[in-house]
Structure 1
Amino acid sequence: MAFQALFCILLLICLYSHIAQSNSVNECSTTLEFLNQLGGIKKGDNVKSVYELKNYLSYLGYLNHNGHSNDHSQKHENVFDDSLEIAIKKYQESHDLNITGLLDANTITKMHQTRCGMPDFSNPNKSFPFHTESHYSFFEGKPKWNKKNLSYAFNQNVFKEAQQPLKNALNEWASKTPFKFYYVKNMNQADIKFSFVRWDRPDALAHSLPPPDGRVNFDVNRSWSYVPKKDFYDMQTVALHELGHVLGLSHSTEVNAVMYPTVRTGVRKRLHKDDINGIKALYKGK
């Protein structure tokens, strides 16, 4: 009897765990579903869920919007106003889309693509250098390291197979810049800290912070590969991108650059001239 009771308890725990995990995945997959309800909207329209679009573009740095109001039914929250049109145009420009100011099918498709969890802009009011030879950008205040030898460490949840592509990404940055990287065991003593984490943003593959923070987090729920593989995200490519943030680069509008904010499965990127020029410009004279 005791064995049967223990078995039942264990079974209930397993079922509860499975249900909780399923609910988490479902919640994650519906986060951006509001976009599908807004196709074709234009300035002047008053449509439910426009406030969610404003919140999303505000998070990415294209719009100043206070999305913390408790009453989303207020008319102004769901109005497609001038500021939203400008934000959409800025998003379309920076992602090499037709600049229509409308939430058209191509813009919605781009917004659904998986991307870096960092915003594209730290200051929505700052003018964007469109149509220039350089496409790289920096964080507000241009934070940078005051040393060229940086230590790195792996959290215990970074399995061994993942460590080599992360080292490869470090080596590639070292080969194109004055930076050198060395391994330490203690996470608390490391400048750069690699970890896997869980979050509920379906569009974000990874997230990192500019100098001198050094944290690099990857979504543990993603399908990662260590060589380019169909339907899998290449860890080395995403690590190259996140390390660019760690070194002080923000996003680039150059599609072929590592610092471009979105990435497709099965693709491996190498450092582009725009990435390298960005680091050289940031650390010029250092």
Structure 2
Amino acid sequence: MARDPVARAFKKWGAHSRGRFAFVATEDDHAELADIKIGFFSGYHGDTGSFDGPGGSLAHSSPPKSGLLHFDSEETWAVGSVQKAFDVETVALHEIGHILGLMHSSVPTAIMYPAVGDGVTKELSRDDVHGFRALYKV
């Protein structure tokens, strides 16, 4: 379920990079070669963060040198706007923003706003794109 929405999220950020950032999928049998390892986990799972179960932290990520994007497997996930579920692509867009070096935004419509409700889908906002382009000078 998660591969396509996460790939779309990476590609959406890449579309604003003027060629400086590209998403390239790695097949599962070569996952150790990936710069960013993506997965669903619960509780403590071997990195610096732990998940707290339903209703708390949805996901966490780290810069490419550490290379992770983890989703809390105890949350209810969906593709698109589904009540009582979180949209994988929306949360991936937010976490990829952190991977790229962006901090939280105070603009509620921004993908980098620190909270999202269930049943909500969001896209990159002008604020997100402006922050990305300023950071990477593109």
Could you state the TM-score of these two structures normalised by the residue count of structure 2?
0.84
Show CA shifts across 1:91-128 (max 9, x none): xxxxxxxxxxxxxxxxxxxxxxxxxxxxxxxxxxxxxx
* 1:271 CA displacement: 0.2
* 2:111 paired with 1:277: no
Q: Which runs of 4+ in 1 moved over 4 A?
A: none
Question: Equivalences for 1:5-84 in 2 at 5 Å?
Answer: none
What corresponds to 1:187 in structure 2?
31
Residue 173 of structure 1 aligns with an amino acid whose one-letter code is W
CA positional deviation for 1:236: 0.5
What SS does the corresponding residue of 1:268 show, helix, strand or coil? coil
Q: How does 1:1-286 map to 2 (within 5 A)?
A: 161-178=1-18, 179-185=21-27, 186-199=30-43, 200-202=51-53, 203-284=56-137
Bigger relative contact order, structure 1 or 2, given CA contacts below 8 A and separation 6+? 2
Tell me how far 1:201 sits from its aligned partner. 2.1
Equivalences, count: 125
Cα offset, 1:212, TM superposition = 2.4
Q: CA offsets, 1:234-286, max 9 Å, x none?
A: 1100000001111111111111100111110111100011111111111126x
Rounded to whole Å, the distance in 1 between the matches of 2:97 and 2:104 is: 9
Q: For the Cα contact (< 8 Å) 2:36–2:64, is it kept in 1?
A: no
Q: What is the SS of the residue equivalent to 1:176?
A: coil
Aligned-pair CA distance for 1:216? 0.1
Bigger fraction of residues in helix: 1
Q: Which one-letter code corresponds to 2:23 in the other structure?
A: F
- Residue-by-residue CA offset, 1:141-189 (whole Å, 9 max, x unaligned): xxxxxxxxxxxxxxxxxxxx21111111112111222311111222221
- Which amino acid counterpart does residue 237 of structure 1 have in structure 2? T
**8 A Cα contact 1:213 1:246, kept in partner:** no
Q: CA deviation at 1:214?
A: 2.2
Cα RMSD between the aligned structures? 1.4
Q: Give the letter for the 2:93 counterpart.
A: L
Gap regions ≥5 residues in structure 2? 44-50
TM-score, with normalisation over the residues of structure 1?
Answer: 0.42
**Gap runs ≥5 in structure 1:** 1-160
What is the rounded CA distance, in whole Å, between the counterparts of 1:189 and 1:217 in structure 2? 17
